[in-house]
């Protein structure tokens, strides 16, 4: 199990900063000129209004309805927390909306209805129907959730989907398809025991019966035991529909000889003895959260032949709803579906099951730090499999078209799959990949500025996230005070604080430093001052002597000052090939600007060196490098002495015979815009550049700051390269999350 502890303070800070909540609304059209506003509102808006009044289907063309889902709750069953009410459920509903966007590029907005009156809830949702392309009901207690969903399905002409029921059911079904395949059993023959007769449990059994499970082979249990025909205590119409004709009365009795156990109940509901009594190759889906009915370890102690799944991410075979609802809605929205029917849910389950049987892409294996292949410990795809977006929605859409749920069938399914591939933000997978690599590397990370609260928060998060060991340079009393002031007093005992004045290695460090600097005007007093009192130098000495695996610094001093200090210990300068690359993440694109840290005015050879270093960084992050040498001229025009070196730099790479794409000199639009690139068919770039090598450090800095302030780009870096040690320098405006990102890059040795 992974060490990934989240404190209350971290959770609250995440929801508070940089602005309260987890998402915002942004316009997709220009809103700058009076003409823009006239088109967006009055009088231009009247035209689509009239067209929609004539033909309501055109709302899918002229509004965001076709890609907008409402996440709606009254907060009566919030996660495992119970009835917290509508307002307290809002963080969960916001989170669900964010997941829709992250995994399937579905726009979503949360709506919390402050009522427990079923009729009032139904009426409120029904009246909002014209706004949305689909409704995702969430965290509504049973049995009201059954009534609400059924009525809304009958009264609305858009998909209504209660994820707590059907999301769990779909992923459970996908896992069961593969578990039965491995165990050589058929769904129509197996005996299934379900424990937990709430919304999710009932939906699971209903879907499995729709897929072929026999009613007489399915036993449903609740807190009072088996739900059998004739039972009156604790019954309702939804339980009664699954009452079995059986003499069995307890879960323990039902488990004897069962092929499948499905649990959506409580921790500890299943004992090892119950598992031992099951049939050969038993399938156990212990899906209670946060703790399963029985852990995989406990189940395998008595039955090595068991196939076990849970709801937990730290065990194999996680039954995770995020594998289902984003892609179900994606497929349903793309055919303007009237509903999400059983056939669409079953198609989703089969598509997920089939995907798990295929070879797993390398990036997934890297992200999870292990090789995954179809078998007892891998029967369900992982949530971060990049194929989900273009494999699951088409299956859902086809089923919707075949069953008459589609208003607008998809004609060219191959083209549809291509559009799905292009919808997703590639930067998300890149960032997840480097997090996984950092976790696998378990680097001892040196945080040089232990007197800064941002650095301390980053260090605590680094260690608590299971990324490795955090070593904080500072005075223990000072670190303790700062942690207490930051609300992290409990972290005092977790961090290792290294005090330069009290380390056993100080004499060794001073000897090394004296040998390096004695002919550069430094005497013994200078050396002592640097080694014992300058945290940047001391941290660099720790790294040089193997007392840490990576170093993060720069949050409290300008990068030029930090780089000067690092040069006392390492050759972190232009002459020895050092360079800095700043990554700009914006609207699903990632572009590196170089050199933003070291070279003041590089010549053509320096520029070629920078390009080669940039290619290494890009490949370390999973990108195929495409380098553009950018200027104010394109391929020699207009002629300028200032642009000449940008013209010659590609020629240097020609002579070196490098193995990546490069071209120049060119303006930024030619480097990044395919339409502008098309005017130069002789260009060697096969697509938009992802590394921009600029003429000088000042132009690099201006470019980065302009994109950050005007366009809102996310900035990572500068990433320091060209050293044989892993060092990253933050900016003085870095947040604790920025510092953590730099530590992760250092742990991955991206620039080394």
Catalytic residues: 41, 96
Whole-angstrom distance, CA of residue 138 vs CA of residue 72: 6
Burial of 384 (0-12, 13-18, 19+ CB in 10 A): middle
List the structure tokens of 417.
């799959």
How big is the chain by its Cα radius of gyration, in Å?
30
Strands 107-112 and 134-137: unpaired
How many CA atoms within 13 Å lie on the side-chain side of 381? 30
List the structure tokens of 366.
């890297």
Closest CA to 436 of 45, 747, 114, 173: 747
* 3-state SS string for 107-170: EEEEEECCCCCHHHHHHHHHHCHHHCCEEEECCCCCCHHHHHHHHHHHHCCCCEEEHHHHHHHH
Closest CA to 276 of 294, 250, 291, 249: 294
**Beta bridge partner(s), residue 628:** 663, 692
List the structure tokens of 250.
């307890």
745 three-state secondary structure: helix
In this structure, are residues 451 and 485 in contact, taking their beta carbons and an 8 Å threshold?
Answer: no
DSSP string, 620-685: HTT---EEEEE-SSBTTBS--GGGHHHHHHHHHHHHHT-SSEEEEEE-HHHHH-HHHHTT-TT-S-
CA dist 70 to 45, 203, 343, Å?
24, 21, 23
Strands 225-226 and 68-73: unpaired
Q: Which residue has the tokens 């039902």?
A: 254
Strands 307-310 and 496-498: unpaired
Instruction: Write phi, then psi, for 145 (nearest 5 degrees).
Output: -60, -35
Q: Which residue has the tokens 């059924």?
A: 150
Contacting residues for 456 by C-beta, under 8 A, at least 6 apart? 447, 450, 472, 479, 482, 483, 486, 488, 491, 495
- Of the chain, the end-to-end C-alpha distance in Å amounts to 30
Closest CA to 578 of 614, 539, 550: 614
- Say how many residues make up the chain: 752
What kind and span of H or E run contains 263?
Answer: strand 260-263
DSSP string, 179-208: HHHHHT--TTT--EEEE--SHHHHHHHHHH
Contacting residues for 428 by C-beta, under 8 A, at least 6 apart? 102
What kind and span of H or E run contains 364?
Answer: helix 362-368
Strands 714-721 and 579-586: antiparallel
């Amino acid at each position: 199990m992974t060490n990934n502890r989240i404190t209350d303070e971290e959770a609250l800070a995440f929801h508070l900063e940089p602005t309260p909540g987890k998402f915002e609304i942004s316009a997709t059209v220009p809103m700058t000129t009076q003409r823009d506003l006239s088109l967006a509102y009055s009088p231009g808006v009247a035209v689509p209004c009239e067209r929609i009044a004539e033909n309501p289907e055109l709302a899918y063309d002229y509004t965001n309805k076709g890609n907008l889902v409402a996440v709606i709750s009254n907060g009566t069953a919030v996660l495992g927390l119970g009835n917290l009410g509508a307002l307290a459920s809002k963080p969960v509903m916001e989170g669900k909306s964010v997941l829709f966007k992250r995994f399937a590029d579905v726009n979503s907005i949360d709506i919390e209805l402050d009522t427990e009156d079923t009729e009032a809830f139904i009426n409120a949702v029904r009246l909002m129907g014209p706004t949305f392309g689909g409704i995702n009901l969430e965290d509504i207690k049973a049995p009201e959730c059954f009534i609400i969903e059924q009525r809304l399905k009958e009264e609305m002409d858009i998909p209504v989907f209660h994820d707590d029921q059907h999301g769990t059911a779909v992923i459970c079904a996908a896992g069961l398809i593969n578990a039965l395949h491995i165990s050589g059993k058929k769904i129509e023959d197996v005996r299934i025991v379900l424990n937990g007769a709430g919304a999710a449990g009932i939906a699971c059994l209903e879907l499995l019966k729709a897929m072929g499970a026999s009613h007489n082979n399915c036993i449903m249990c609740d807190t009072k035991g088996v739900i059998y025909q004739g039972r009156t205590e604790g019954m309702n119409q939804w339980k009664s529909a699954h009452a079995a004709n059986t003499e069995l009365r307890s879960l323990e009795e039902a488990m004897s000889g069962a092929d499948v156990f499905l649990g959506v109940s409580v921790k500890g509901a299943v004992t090892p003895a119950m598992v031992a009594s099951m049939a050969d190759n038993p399938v156990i889906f212990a899906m209670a959260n946060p703790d399963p009915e029985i852990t995989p370890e406990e189940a395998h102690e008595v039955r090595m032949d068991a196939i076990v799944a849970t709801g937990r991410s730290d065990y194999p075979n996680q039954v995770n709803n995020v594998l289902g609802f984003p892609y179900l809605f994606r497929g349903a929205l793309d055919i303007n579906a009237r509903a999400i029917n059983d056939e669409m849910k079953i198609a989703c389950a089969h598509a997920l099951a089939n995907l798990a049987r295929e070879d797993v892409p390398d990036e997934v294996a890297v992200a999870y730090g292990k090789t995954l292949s179809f078998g007892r410990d891998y029967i369900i795809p992982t949530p971060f499999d990049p194929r989900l977006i273009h494999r699951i929605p088409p299956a859902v859409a086809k089923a919707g078209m075949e069953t008459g749920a589609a208003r607008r069938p998809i004609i060219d399914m191959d083209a549809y799959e291509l559009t799905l591939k292009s919808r997703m933000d590639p930067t998300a997978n890149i960032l997840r990949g480097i997090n996984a690599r950092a976790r696998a590397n378990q680097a001892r990370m040196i945080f040089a500025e232990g007197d800064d609260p941002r650095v301390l928060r980053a260090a605590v998060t680094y260690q608590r996230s299971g990324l490795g060991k955090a070593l904080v340079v500072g005075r223990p009393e000072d670190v303790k005070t700062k942690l207490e002031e930051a609300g992290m007093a409990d972290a005092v005992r977790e961090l290792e604080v290294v005090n330069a004045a009290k380390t056993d290695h100080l004499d060794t460090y001073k000897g090394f430093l004296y040998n390096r600097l004695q002919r550069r005007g430094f005497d013994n007093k200078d050396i002592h001052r640097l080694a014992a009192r300058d945290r940047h130098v001391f941290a660099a000495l720790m790294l040089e002597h193997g007392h840490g695996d990576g170093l993060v610094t720069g949050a409290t001093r300008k990068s030029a000052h930090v780089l000067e200090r690092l040069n006392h210990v390492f050759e972190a300068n232009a002459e020895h090939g050092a360079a800095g690359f700043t990554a700009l993440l914006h609207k699903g694109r990632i572009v590196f600007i170089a050199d933003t840290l070291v070279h003041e005015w590089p010549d053509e050879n320096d520029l070629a060196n920078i390009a080669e270093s940039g290619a290494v960084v890009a490949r370390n992050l999973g990108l195929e490098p495409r380098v553009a040498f950018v200027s104010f001229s394109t391929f020699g025009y207009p002629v300028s002495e200032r642009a000449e070196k940008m013209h010659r730099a590609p020629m240097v790479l020609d002579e070196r015979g490098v193995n990546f794409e490069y071209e120049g000199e060119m303006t930024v639009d030619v480097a990044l815009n395919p339409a502008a690139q098309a005017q130069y068919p002789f260009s060697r770039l096969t697509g938009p550049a992802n590394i921009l090598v600029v003429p000088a450090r000042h132009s690099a800095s201006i470019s980065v700051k302009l994109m950050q302030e005007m366009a809102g780009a996310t900035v990572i870096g500068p990433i320091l390269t060209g050293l044989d040690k892993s060092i990253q320098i933050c900016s003085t405006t870095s947040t604790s999350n920025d510092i953590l990102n730099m530590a992760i890059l250092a742990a991955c040795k991206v620039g080394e």
